[in-house]
Amino acid sequence: MAHQKSIAFYESGSWYHRVKLLQADGTTKYSKKGGFATAEEAEKSYRQCEEAYKRAYRAHHASPAVNFELKDYLVFWLDEIYSARVENTSKMLASYVIYDLLLPNMTQGMKLRYVNAEYLNALLKTVSKATESAGNKARELLNIALKDAVTMGYIPRNPVPDTKPYQRTKPKITVLSKDKLRFFLEKASENNWYLEILLGLFMGLRKGEISGLKYSDFNMDNRTVRIERQITSNPIVPKGQFKISEYQVIEKAPKTPNSIRTLRVPEAIMFP
């Protein structure tokens, strides 16, 4: 199992962490802070410094003297707010929507406090031409971002609910007939992934759950299997970008607490 790099690092006899400092002009200075006896102390300090930076950034941009542009807010929101509470796959998609769809089509100099439904409708109409799902996804992301803007006191209300909705593109599902299913299984039995195919087809297991299975998870006497982990490919997206720089294979808990479960295994799978 691959682990993400620690935010603490050892240097010159003590533990350090990176730190961001907000300057008087609103720019960010990057530095490091050290002198910690353990990595845990450095990590605790890092989290405290991150919270202090976010509070200072919000206070600076909430000041009436500052003309906070919509573009600046979305970049800040993505990097400092949204990315902290979602998986990297969601961050990657949000980065694409903001950097590749929204920002290039925004009016230069548009202030956050002046954004209204009319402006957003025009923006979303342009964005929706990119792909079938672009309008829906961009509107969904703007709604989350501007709800947070209301919570932080940047704007009095969120105008996104007043905009035109865009339909979500539904995936096409093809149901195989019995003859086609029989033909599929005959061909699948010749494949090295036959067991994985059966687990997904007859037990509804996700790809990551199947990859995370261990021999000890199977109870041959009771003919059950315990699902309590998954293996996923975690895309690493550098700050301020939407392109993936690398992938990390990680082991983690299933998607939701309810996904931890014990299932009955069909006899055809347990004893083929």
- Find the helix or strand (DSSP H, E) in which 33 lies: strand 28-36
The answer on pLDDT for 4 being more than 50 is no
Q: Tokens 């086609």, residue?
A: 180
Least confident window among 32-41, 56-65, 129-138, 207-216: 56-65
- Mean pLDDT for the stretch of residues 140-168: 93
User: Which is nearest to 143 in space by CA: 158, 133, 130?
Assistant: 158
Query: Taking the CB of residue 87, how many other CB atoms lie within 10 A of it?
Result: 13
pLDDT (tens digit per residue) in 186-229 = 999 999 999 999 999 989 999 989 999 999 999 999 999 999 99
Most confident of 5-19, 44-58, 65-79, 108-122: 108-122
The answer on pLDDT for 235 being more than 80 is no
pLDDT at 121 (0 to 100): 97
Using CA atoms, how far residue 58 sits from 151, 187, 230, in Å, is: 11, 59, 37
What span, in angstroms and rounded, lies between the C-alpha atoms of 187 and 265?
Answer: 22
Contact call for residues 266 and 253 (beta carbons, < 8 A): no
Contact call for residues 136 and 169 (beta carbons, < 8 A): yes
- Mean pLDDT for the stretch of residues 125-133: 94
Query: Taking the CB of residue 144, how many other CB atoms lie within 10 A of it?
Result: 16
Of residues 217 and 1, more confidence is placed in: 217
- Find the helix or strand (DSSP H, E) in which 107 lies: none
Contact call for residues 228 and 217 (beta carbons, < 8 A): yes
> Predicted confidence band at 244 (pLDDT cuts at 50, 70, 90)?
low
> Predicted confidence band at 240 (pLDDT cuts at 50, 70, 90)?
low
Average pLDDT, the chain: 86
Contact call for residues 198 and 189 (beta carbons, < 8 A): no
What span, in angstroms and rounded, lies between the C-alpha atoms of 33 and 110?
Answer: 37
> Predicted confidence band at 2 (pLDDT cuts at 50, 70, 90)?
very low
pLDDT (tens digit per residue) in 13-40 = 899 998 988 876 677 888 899 999 998 9
User: Which is nearest to 246 in space by CA: 257, 255, 235, 232?
Assistant: 235
> Predicted confidence band at 1 (pLDDT cuts at 50, 70, 90)?
very low
Contact call for residues 54 and 66 (beta carbons, < 8 A): no
The answer on pLDDT for 12 being more than 70 is yes
pLDDT at 91 (0 to 100): 82
**What is the 8-class DSSP label of residue 102?**
I
CA angle, 242 then 247 then 250, to 5°: 125
pLDDT (tens digit per residue) in 73-126 = 998 898 888 988 887 778 888 988 998 999 999 988 899 989 999 999 999 999
What span, in angstroms and rounded, lies between the C-alpha atoms of 61 and 84?
Answer: 20
pLDDT at 128 (0 to 100): 95
Beta bridge partners of 33: 17
The answer on pLDDT for 65 being more than 60 is no
> Predicted confidence band at 164 (pLDDT cuts at 50, 70, 90)?
very high
